[in-house]
């Protein structure tokens, strides 16, 4: 199994508060991703990173920011949480991206269940 951990695993917070989720990997993979999973939507990409300090937006990036100051850590921040951000958040990593080959394979963390009241 790929070495990916997410913290916290569960969090309940109130509307308007800031929240930071952490993803940590021990695989030294270049690419890291944040997804949210909601019923009927499958997985939707929030942001991804292609190196230290290099990030880009995904399909549903509004209301989220990310930072990557070290290869192994990728942080997702909700500056002011809203009830619509209640979801399960998954981090993923891959060696490569956009090659169309097997090194594009993404490996997922265990997820963080976030509830915004």
- Write out the residues near other proteins by the rule CB under 8 A: 33, 40-43, 45, 48, 56, 58-59, 90, 92, 97-102, 104-111
**Which residue's CB is nearer to other proteins, number 40 or number 53?**
40
Separation of alpha carbons 117 and 111, rounded Å: 19
Separation of alpha carbons 89 and 101, rounded Å: 26
| Residue 22 · residue 41 · CB < 8 Å | no
Min CB(54)–other proteins separation in Å: 12
Min CB(1)–other proteins separation in Å: 8
Point out which residues pair with 49 in neighbouring strands.
32, 55
Min CB(39)–other proteins separation in Å: 9
**Which residue's CB is nearer to other proteins, number 50 or number 82?**
50
**Which residue's CB is nearer to other proteins, number 45 or number 75?**
45
Query: Would the CA dihedral through 45, 26, 49, 61 be positive or negative?
Result: positive
**Which residue's CB is nearer to other proteins, number 56 or number 79?**
56
> Which tokens hold the place of 45?
């990409």
**Is 103 in a helix, a strand, or coil?**
helix
Min CB(29)–other proteins separation in Å: 14
């Amino acid at each position: 199994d790929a070495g990916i951990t997410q913290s916290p695993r569960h969090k309940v917070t109130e509307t308007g508060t800031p929240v930071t989720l952490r993803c940590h990997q021990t695989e030294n993979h270049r690419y890291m991703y944040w997804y949210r999973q909601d019923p009927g939507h499958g997985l939707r990409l929030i942001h991804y990173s292609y190196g230290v300090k290099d990030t880009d937006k995904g399909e549903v990036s509004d209301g989220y920011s990310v930072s990557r100051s070290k290869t192994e850590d990728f942080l997702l921040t909700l500056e002011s949480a809203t009830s619509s951000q209640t979801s399960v958040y998954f981090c993923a990593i891959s060696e490569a991206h956009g090659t169309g080959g097997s090194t594009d394979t993404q490996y997922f963390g265990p997820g963080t269940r976030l509830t915004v009241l």
